[in-house]
């Protein structure tokens, strides 16, 4: 099998040691600085687990209760720490259970390496027990994948896997390893990879493009910034903040970019997209220069492309060349790493304040406050709202928690109302919309940032998709705080049924179990809130707990999330009710 040509800068060859493939895999992980992995054993990966047993003082393995949980935990870990998350599984069903997590990591650009066992080389293609073509299956949802059939391939392929997962626009890599390659011996020496000849991780910044961008920005009367996760992945938070402050340009975020600039920053005008803020959506169609940084114009952000920012000159700062002109035609494309390109842009930018233009965002916020926010955060009706729960979490955690969300109404409400004071704090399944993401991702987030408060906010639907991971929280006493916003519905689908399918609630009503008892069954402290009067004390009790804590809040059953851009409508047509 041909392998990639790898660039080797460090020509000093380390002294090789004779070890098995399985042991070599552990050494590769240690060489890459990995000290924590998530996974689930099985026949075809047992030699590696046997080595994990021997190396348990150096490399911790967390047994999730389902392989999907392992991938989301690895994602949560990667997203808070900026490091590569690692998940491991056996062949066949173990491998196929990784697919959702791979797809999620691919669309949300999360660096992750997944390792799967495979049947021995001589049985490949024989439909052996637990054989599945995971390389074929995972191809469309991985940045790169590879099947190792010889022990001698292990060090080079692992080095490439970590390099590819982390560099450029990050993404998931899958390495499938036949069992014979785990048993066989090799002369092991590890060299980190710092380049692959057929892969340009990041383009060199084009100074002319940056110059053109600066000219457009300096001459703009109504410039507007939308930033995405590229800021967080590129660790360009400071550069963005300086750019925004110097130029006085109002800046909004996609949900993947949330928390890169603190929520209370005066130039942070809020969230774009289907359930984003009113001003940031409507004014997209009133700006004269739109500066998109590290975002990809997802359809949930743009609504109808035919009516999206047509009046504006568009500048796109982007690391992935394939994203340029993919959805929105741009006037200036600045390829490269946001940290580097923004750094080069900064000295070319004139100081400005754009007071009048900024006041339009304030006016729109006031409209949204009257129509939506007040009802969500200061409700006068008896039923609890999701918004007031988020507000209590903000208060109790001093706006400094990592908020991990699942998918649906609670996710949109959390993204809208959670307040953040530092980056890498909003962990959610953005592009794929994976229900069941939050609970395992919160485990990974807590282990990736143990010093931080991690609160998983989950709907009653998604919670039951990966509820078994409570076992991990219990077994390892991982002090994650879990809030289930229980409305006894698949709320977002129910909302669409109400608005677009004449309230025909097909399969969206749920009779739920006693969530408190389930948590208690795992020996996790648990409490249920049904009245507003108990909410604040319950949230404070949860946040101040040193141990894992489960809080169920019974919220209004048929609340809707507004504002809303109906699917396929223009950002200008966002509805406040």
Partner 1 sequence: MESKWYTISVYSENSVGLLNRISGIFLKRHINIESLNVSKSEIENVSKFTIVVFTTEDWTRKIVGQIEKQIEVIKAFYHTDDETIYQESALFKIASHLLFDERQIQNIIKESNSQIVTVSRDFFVLAKTGRRHEIDEMHDALEPYGIMQFVRSGRITVTKASMPITEILAEFQNK
- Other beta carbons within 10 angstroms of residue 400's beta carbon come to 13
- Nearest approach in angstroms of CB 341 to partner 1 is 19
Q: Distance between CA 102 and CA 71 in Å, rounded?
A: 7
- Nearest approach in angstroms of CB 106 to partner 1 is 12
- Nearest approach in angstroms of CB 359 to partner 1 is 39
Nearest to 307 by CA among 319, 318, 299: 299
| Helix extents (H) in 378-437 | 386-396, 409-417
Do residues 118 and 124 touch, judged by C-beta distance below 8 A? yes
Nearest to 323 by CA among 347, 305, 297: 297
Do residues 190 and 13 touch, judged by C-beta distance below 8 A? no
- 492: annotated active-site residue: yes
Nearest to 543 by CA among 388, 390, 387: 390
In the complex with partner 1, the residue whose CB is nearer, 165 or 255, is 165
- Nearest approach in angstroms of CB 154 to partner 1 is 17
Q: Distance between CA 437 and CA 71 in Å, rounded?
A: 9
Active-site pick, 67, 237, 318, 453: 67
118 beta partners = 178
- 130: annotated active-site residue: yes
- Other beta carbons within 10 angstroms of residue 91's beta carbon come to 25
Active-site pick, 55, 130, 395, 510: 130
Put residue 127 in one of left, alpha, beta given phi > 0 → left and psi -120 to 50 → alpha. left
- 340: annotated active-site residue: no
- Nearest approach in angstroms of CB 325 to partner 1 is 8
Active-site pick, 129, 183, 500, 501: 129
In the complex with partner 1, the residue whose CB is nearer, 194 or 212, is 194
- List, in order, residues 6 or more apart from 244 with CB less than 8 Å away: 225, 251, 261, 265, 267
In the complex with partner 1, the residue whose CB is nearer, 15 or 197, is 197
- 375: annotated active-site residue: no
Q: Distance between CA 34 and CA 28 in Å, rounded?
A: 9
- 420: annotated active-site residue: no
- Nearest approach in angstroms of CB 186 to partner 1 is 20
In the complex with partner 1, the residue whose CB is nearer, 161 or 574, is 161
- Nearest approach in angstroms of CB 8 to partner 1 is 11
Output the six-digit token pair for 278. Answer: 């009113």
Q: Distance between CA 434 and CA 428 in Å, rounded?
A: 9
In the complex with partner 1, the residue whose CB is nearer, 322 or 506, is 322
In the complex with partner 1, the residue whose CB is nearer, 134 or 473, is 134
- List, in order, residues 6 or more apart from 18 with CB less than 8 Å away: 185, 186, 187, 188
The footprint of partner 1 (CB under 8 A) covers 1-5, 7, 135-136, 139-140, 143-147, 164, 195-199, 320-322, 324-326
- Nearest approach in angstroms of CB 204 to partner 1 is 11
- List, in order, residues 6 or more apart from 144 with CB less than 8 Å away: 160, 161, 164, 165, 171, 173
In the complex with partner 1, the residue whose CB is nearer, 19 or 292, is 292
In the complex with partner 1, the residue whose CB is nearer, 147 or 263, is 147
Burial class (CB in 10 A: 0-12, 13-18, 19+), 140: exposed
Active-site pick, 112, 274, 492, 564: 492
Catalytic residues: 67, 129-130, 179, 492
């Amino acid at each position: 099998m041909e392998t990639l040509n790898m660039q080797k800068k460090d020509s000093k060859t380390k002294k090789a040691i004779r070890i098995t493939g399985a042991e070599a895999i552990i050494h590769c992980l240690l060489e890459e600085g990995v000290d924590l992995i998530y996974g689930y054993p099985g026949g075809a990966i047992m030699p590696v687990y046997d080595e994990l047993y021997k190396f348990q003082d150096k490399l911790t393995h967390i047994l999730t209760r389902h392989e999907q949980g392992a991938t989301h935990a690895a994602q949560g870990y990667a997203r808070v720490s900026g490091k590569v998350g690692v998940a491991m599984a056996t062949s066949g069903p173990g491998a196929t259970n990784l697919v959702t997590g791979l797809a999620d990591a691919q669309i949300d650009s999360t660096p992750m390496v997944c390792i799967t066992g495979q049947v021995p080389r001589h049985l490949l293609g024989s439909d052996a027990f637990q054989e599945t073509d995971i390389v074929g299956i995972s191809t469309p949802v991985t940045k790169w994948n590879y099947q190792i059939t010889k022990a001698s391939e292990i060090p080079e392929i692992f080095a490439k896997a970590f390099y590819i997962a982390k560099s450029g626009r990050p993404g998931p890599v899958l390495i499938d390893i036949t069992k014979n390659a785990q048993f066989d011996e090799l002369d092991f020496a590890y060299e980190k990879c710092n380049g692959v000849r057929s892969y340009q991780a990041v383009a060199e910044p084009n100074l002319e493009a940056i110059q053109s961008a600066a000219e457009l920005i300096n001459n703009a009367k109504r410039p507007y910034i939308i930033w995405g996760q590229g800021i967080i992945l590129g660790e360009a938070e400071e550069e963005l903040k300086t750019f925004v402050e110097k130029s006085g340009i109002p800046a909004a975020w996609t949900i993947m970019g949330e928390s890169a600039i603190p929520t209370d920053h005066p130039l942070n005008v809020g969230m774009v997209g289907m359930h984003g803020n009113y001003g940031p959506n409507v004014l997209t169609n009133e700006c004269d220069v739109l500066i998109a940084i590290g975002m990809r114009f997802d359809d949930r952000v743009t609504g109808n492309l035919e009516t999206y920012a047509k009046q504006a000159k568009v500048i796109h700062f982007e690391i992935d060349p394939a994203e340029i002109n993919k959805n929105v035609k741009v006037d200036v494309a600045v390829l490269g790493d946001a940290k580097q390109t923004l750094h080069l842009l900064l000295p070319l930018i004139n100081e400005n304040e754009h007071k009048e233009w900024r006041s339009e965002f304030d006016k729109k916020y006031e409209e949204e406050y009257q129509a939506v926010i007040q009802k969500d955060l200061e409700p006068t009706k008896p039923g609890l709202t999701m918004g007031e729960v988020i507000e209590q979490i903000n208060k109790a955690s001093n706006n400094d928690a990592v908020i991990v969300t699942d998918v649906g109404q609670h996710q949109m409400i959390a993204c809208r109302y959670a307040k953040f004071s530092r980056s890498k704090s909003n962990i959610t399944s953005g592009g794929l919309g994976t229900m069941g993401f939050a609970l395992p991702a919160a485990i990974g987030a807590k282990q990736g940032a143990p010093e931080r408060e991690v609160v998983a906010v989950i709907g009653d639907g998604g919670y039951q998709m990966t509820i078994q991971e409570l076992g991990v929280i219990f077994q390892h006493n991982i002090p994650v705080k879990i809030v289930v916003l229980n409305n006894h519905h698949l709320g977002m689908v129910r909302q669409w049924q109400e608005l677009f399918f004449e309230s025909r609630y097909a399969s969206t009503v749920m009779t739920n179990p006693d969530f408190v008892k389930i948590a208690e069954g795992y020996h996790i402290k648990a409490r249920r809130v049904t009245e507003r009067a108990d909410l604040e004390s319950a949230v404070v009790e949860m946040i101040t707990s040193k141990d894992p804590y489960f809080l169920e809040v019974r919220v209004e059953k048929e609340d809707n999330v507004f504002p809303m851009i109906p699917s396929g409508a223009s950002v200008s047509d966002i509805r406040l009710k």
